[in-house]
Amino acid sequence: MGFNDALIGLVLVIFAIAEIAYSTTFPSLHGQAYGPSLFPIIIGCGLLACGLVLIARGLRTRNQQSRLAQSTQAESDKATNSPTWVQLGDWAHDPASRINMLLVPVLLVAYILLSEPIGFIPLSVAMLTILLFRLGSSLLTSIVIAVVTTLMLQLLFAKVLLVPLPSGLLLRWLG
Amino acid sequence: MLASAIFGLFVGSIPGLTATMAAALLIPFTFFMDPVPAIAAIVTTVAMAIFAGDIPGALLRIPGTPASAAYCDEAYAMTRKGKVATALGVSLVCSAIGGVFGSAILAMTAPVLAEFAIKFSSYEYFWLACLGLSCAVVVSTGSTLKGFVSLLIGLFISTIGIDITAGHPRFAFGNVEMMGGISFIPAMIGMFAISEVLRFIAAPHKQESIPQQPIKNVFRGIGGIISTYKLNVMRGGVIGAVVGILPGAGSDIAAWIAYAMSKRFSKNRDKFGTGHVEGLVDAGTANNAGLAGAWVPALVFGIPGDSITAIVIGVLYMKGMNPGPTVFMQQPELIHAVFIVFFLANLALIPLGFIAIRLSRTILLVPRHVLIPIILMFCVVGSFAINNTAFGISVMLIMGVMAYLMEENGFPVAPTILGIVLGTMLEDNFMSSMIKADGQFAEFFSRPIAATLGVLVIVIWTLPLLRLLLRTLRGEKTRLPT
């Protein structure tokens, strides 16, 4: 997914201003000119400058693009030449991969929120099954691979490396 | 070690899974190991992965790791000529030679530099960190401006958490886990593994058909080729090691430079790109030599030479070891162990790589759409395991999405990683220097080494600016990267 440089620059500038504003509230050390706010402010200024340059660059490319588009509009299709703010990747034109793209963050957020109450094993099986199925395995293979992988991970991390994976529902049912 | 070797070969030979990702996936395990086996595991995995990246490059024209991209076309052209065995054999032997060469350079230069570095004070370290960060920006792929933005993002992330001098929480917004700072490991798993997962899902590749060509007698005629091009082997090794030492430039850049040099100075320049073995020799040596070279600054100064050593430094910090000259004095056995591991790993490359070549067809048949979900789940558990909180997973997700968007827009990711790793060091040393110097900035140039390093940093920063100025003065039309 490509954004026009100007958009990225704008985001950076806004972020930098907010960051500098917040940094100035940090207390300074007694008798010391340089406090904890120094580095964040330097970084903020750098980001601000870069953001501004990116905006300038982005606008220039956009102008060039539109000039190019005007001169060649007749023979070529508009979709490729018209100036764009956001250029979506190939995945965005295909509804299936669009869902897949969103699926990864959604599944991860679900895991972060639900891992404590539900537990690692059921959640991991569910996540893997959904993802495997969406990426083109058949439903049965997805479930089998998901169960096997989950059990291996559980064995490896919880039993061998002694990581306290959230146990959740399953253990409560087993007593 | 054997297990990590097999793991490395496997990851490396699957297109789209990089050596850095292999190292990132290993971290959760190294967390539970002693320092030496942990380092051994990472070194072996990465050395194997870099070689194994050549296999799909030669067979499918898809580099298995970015470090193989430079000569992927060349190797594939050889395959089409029916010389696939020679291509793979050459890259295997050259990888091993390059690795041993790089290890030798590491073993020779690191102790000498360490003796020198023991005299360094916070001024020198401040400048060194600056130098490392500047190199990362200048050398990184793509536009310098975007590299700089990427660096600043990394530095910003490193300021999150309790401030060291005043003990004031920064950017934590009352969140206790944020106060502890963003830990390296989930961040790196996110930036290298999650972003790869997203990229795969965004552009699913079809399973490629593998050319049906017998791969026999891998080692036949290799001796002849190596002795014809001994100069190239040497040159590749030197380029690899030097580029590796530069912070921010790893084996992929080493391979590109070595390939370009080889083409430039070759007698048969026109044969390049048509399946000529010479470039393969140079670049194949360079990328493995670069791996070891990157460890020189990492071990001596605690400044990573590439993203893999950045991960290693993160791992070492977690184990309570601060890489730097003191390690050479206090734990020489550790340093020697690292050297030995390097030699062993690169020698083991020959038999194991041979097996991998024989099995390559089977490895390439593993469907990636099955692997990707498994990798994702592995990352989740891995970043959870570091602190046993879901916070690590959140960090991983955010950094992963960010790294994906950055790469899609031409922002190199390596400077961010260096920024995260070096940010704390930079600020620590700056602050303690300032307190020592009583706020006099001139003190930063008061010691000879510090002054030299400082001037170097300033030169690196002014050069691109001067060039830009000259270009605008001449009114030259600058070509914009899109």
**Where do the domains of chain B lie?**
2-204+219-474
Q: How many CB pairs under 8 A join A and B?
A: 162
pLDDT of residue A79: 43
Q: What is the mean pLDDT of chain B?
A: 73
Is the domain of A11 the same as that of A64? yes
pLDDT of residue B366: 67
Is the domain of A83 the same as that of A6? yes
Range of the domain at A10: 2-87
Last residue of a domain, one of A58, A87, A116: A87
| Contact criterion met (CB below 8 Å) for B50 and B184 | no
Which candidate from A32, A127, A163 shows the least CB-CB separation from B377? A127
Q: What is the dihedral of CA B2, B8, B13, B15, to 10 degrees?
A: 160
Would the pTM of this model clear 0.80, i.e. be above it? no
Is the domain of A109 the same as that of A71? no
Last residue of a domain, one of A87, A110, A133: A87
Is the domain of A80 the same as that of A99? no
Is the domain of A81 the same as that of A9? yes
Is the domain of A34 the same as that of A98? no
* For testing contact with chain A, the best of B30, B33, B146, B168 (most A CBs within 10 A): B168
Average pLDDT estimate for B435-447: 68
Give dist(CA A39, CA B220) in Å, integer: 59
Give dist(CA B194, CA B18) in Å, integer: 12
Average pLDDT estimate for B25-52: 76
Closest residue in B to A13 (Cα) is B149
Average pLDDT estimate for A110-126: 79
Q: What is the mean pLDDT of chain A?
A: 73
Is the domain of A144 the same as that of A129? yes
Average pLDDT estimate for B169-181: 64
Is the domain of A118 the same as that of A72? no
Is the domain of A13 the same as that of A81? yes
| Three-state SS letters, B236-260 | HHHHHHHHHHCCCCCHHHHHHHHHH
Which candidate from A34, A127, A163 shows the least CB-CB separation from B388? A163
Last residue of a domain, one of A66, A87, A108: A87
Is the domain of A99 the same as that of A51? no
Q: How far is CA B380 from the centre of its chain?
A: 23
Give the list of residues 6+ apart from residue B89 with CB closer than 8 angstroms, or none: B218, B219, B220, B221, B222, B357
Number of domains in chain A: 2
DSSP state for residue B100 in the 8-state scheme: H
CB within 8 Å: B152 and A46: yes
Is the domain of A83 the same as that of A106? no
Is the domain of A95 the same as that of A64? no
How deeply is B153 buried, as exposed, middle or buried, from its count of CB atoms within 10 A (0-12, 13-18, 19+)? buried
Percent of chain A whose predicted confidence (pLDDT) is above 90: 0
Name every chain A residue with its beta carbon within 8 A of the beta carbon of B204.
97, 135-136
Name every chain B residue with its beta carbon within 8 A of the beta carbon of A99.
none
A134 compared with B8, residue with greater pLDDT: A134
| B29: nearest Cα among B395, B363, B381, B267 | B381
DSSP state for residue B119 in the 8-state scheme: T
| Contact criterion met (CB below 8 Å) for B397 and B406 | no
Closest-CA distance, B166 to chain A, in angstroms, reads 6
Cα dist from B350 to A122, B115, B228, B308, B345, whole Å: 43, 34, 20, 22, 9
Closest-CA distance, B239 to chain A, in angstroms, reads 32
Which candidate from B168, B194, B423 shows the least CB-CB separation from A27? B168
Closest residue in B to A144 (Cα) is B370
pLDDT of residue B222: 63
